[in-house]
Amino acid sequence: MPQSFLQIYVYRVFSMKTKCMMAFVFVLLTSFTWSSAARGQQASEKPQDTKKIDEKAIRELIVALGDESFEKREAADKALIGVGLPALPLLRKAVTDAADLEVRERAAKLVRTLSAGPGVLLPGASVGEIAISKDGQTMAFASANKIVSVYDMKTMALRYTLRGHTNRVWSVAISPDGRILASGAGAFTDAKFFEIILWDLAKGTALRTLKGDQGTAYGLAFSPDGKRLYSGGWDGTVRVWDPANGKEIAVLRGHQGWVRSVHATPDGKFIISCGLDGTVRFWNAESLMEERRMVASHEGIGPSTISPDGKWLITGSRPMGLPDPGIITVWDIATGKQKAIIKGPSRKVNALAVSPDNKLLAMGGGLTDQMGEVKIFDLATGKERAAFHDHHEWVEGLAFSPDGRWLASGSGYETGTEAEVRIWDVKNLRGKGE
């Protein structure tokens, strides 16, 4: 918004008494730069020091959110957006402490708006899994429109639209060296359909296509050294591939039904597969033999993830009754014992991710068919740290950036009419102790 327009707007809307207070806010506004990113506003990449901000002026603006005049409420709202991240601590406090309902509701909306990171991406179709390269430069996500979208994480600009799949893309994974992107596709209506494409991320071109009778490829994971690719399929198998030549190395059988996800432990010793039969199976990555298994859920495992330090496996159950809340379970990978249960985070638990420092657990789900949500928990205690209901449809994909600053969430499973990828400033969500 041009400075000249802001100046005219502020001085015309407010009374002479309010102008004095707003003059200081206008000075603050001129010190922040903003750029549009799709439908959202981009927050400053480097949060300003809140100690240098006049808290009294911010408090007065927050109080004005409940003013009897609609024009003044709207003006205060816009001014607080202009102040940006330094207003967040006081806005969060207003959400819980303000006596005025209007102030609490408007403050909550502003917290959601200012907490967003570089912006909102609109893929135009339902979003599946999300993958971010280890160097933090690249983000890729699967889409229902048979494409894979690749973005530059620094600029949030679309780098490539990868076309080649003949059906919906469900899963994506990026090799440890950031050179290869694997994407898996399939359809519920064709249990024999199987397709994985390996892409050259530097050029945005297809290297080779892996096909077989595994059924839809729902889970993909690279080994820590990048020399193996693991895929989980509709037919209950885990397949091991050589990404260098596209050859199938082995087929691991044991699951009685759809393998929802596969993971490689950070030390490279195990392949972990989770299925809708409710079991978790640990395969020796060298001998490719099953070493142990456990029953994690009698209702089937939905999403799963492992912590970056390799200590914890986190699984999400899919309740049989639609009104029943989902359940998140944390398991000790070394012992197979249950560490914690987080009940009722959402009606459906569709996506899970752990922050690089192993402290935060993110959950993506759905409250209803028309509303998705992202929740962030303290992994050690299970305590909820934040909740966001900005997505209009179920959240199906989550990924943390390697530095732990950003969390990407993708939605649009039901109809895809409100498909979007949102980028959250996770360090800011932690609130620096707030």
3-state secondary structure 268-336: CCEEEEEECCCEEEEEECCCCCEEEEEECCCCCEEEEEECCCCCEEEEEECCCCCCCCCEEEEEECCCC
**Is residue 6's pLDDT more than 80?**
no
pLDDT digits (tens, 9 = 90+) for 364-377: 988 766 678 899 99
d(CA 29, CA 13): 16
State yes or no: pLDDT of 243 exceeds 60: yes
> What residues contact 172, with CB distance under 8 A and at least 6 apart?
128, 129, 130, 131, 140, 141, 142, 148, 181, 182, 183, 184, 220
Taking only the tens place, the pLDDT of each residue in 222-238 is: 999 999 999 998 888 99
Nearest residue to 264 via CA among 308, 217, 222:
222
- The structure tokens 């409710």 sit at 278
**Which of the four pLDDT bands, split at 50, 70 and 90, describes residue 420?**
confident
Q: What is the pLDDT of residue 292?
A: 94
**Residues 303 and 351 sit within 8 Å (Cβ to Cβ):** yes
What DSSP line would sit under 342-365, residue for residue?
Answer: EE-S-SEEEEEEE-TTS-EEEEEE
Which two three-digit tokens encode residue 240?
């091991």
- Predicted local distance difference test score (pLDDT) of residue 49: 39
**Coarse DSSP helix, strand, coil percentages of the chain, rounded to the nearest 5 percent:** 20, 45, 35
pLDDT at 181 over 80: yes
Cβ–Cβ under 8 Å, residues 118 and 156: yes
Reported as type and span, the H/E element at residue 21 is: helix 16-30
Residues 6+ apart with CB under 8 A from 166: 146, 185, 195
- Between 88-97 and 55-64, two packed helices, what is the crossing angle to 10 degrees? 40
Least trusted range by pLDDT, from 87-91, 154-158, 188-192, 297-301: 188-192
CA angle 370, 374, 378 (to 5 degrees): 155
Query: Is the model's pTM score more than 0.85?
Result: no
Average pLDDT over residues 167-187: 93
pLDDT per residue as tens digits for the range 377-410: 999 999 988 888 778 788 999 999 999 988 999 9
- Determine if residue 300 is left, alpha or beta; phi over 0 gives left, psi from -120 to 50 gives alpha, anything else beta: left
Per the CB < 8 A criterion, the answer to whether 64 and 94 are in contact is no
Interacting residues of 13 by C-beta distance below 8 A, sequence separation 6+: 71, 72, 75
Q: How far apart are CA 72 and CA 103, in angstroms?
A: 12
Q: What is the pLDDT of residue 412?
A: 79
- Please say if the pLDDT value at position 8 is more than 50: no
Average pLDDT of every residue of the chain: 80
DSSP-assigned letter for residue 153: T
Asked whether the predicted pLDDT for residue 108 surpasses 70, the reply is yes
Confidence of residue 218 (pLDDT cuts 50, 70, 90): confident
Which of 75-89, 152-166, 311-325 is least confident?
Answer: 311-325
Rounded CA separation 361/380 (Å): 9
Q: What is the pLDDT of residue 52?
A: 46
> Integer distance in angstroms from the first to the last C-alpha of the chain?
30
DSSP assignment letter at 402: T
pLDDT above 90 for 50: no
Q: What tens digit of pLDDT does each residue of 259-304 get?
A: 999 999 999 999 999 998 999 999 999 999 999 999 988 778 889 9
Confidence of residue 167 (pLDDT cuts 50, 70, 90): confident
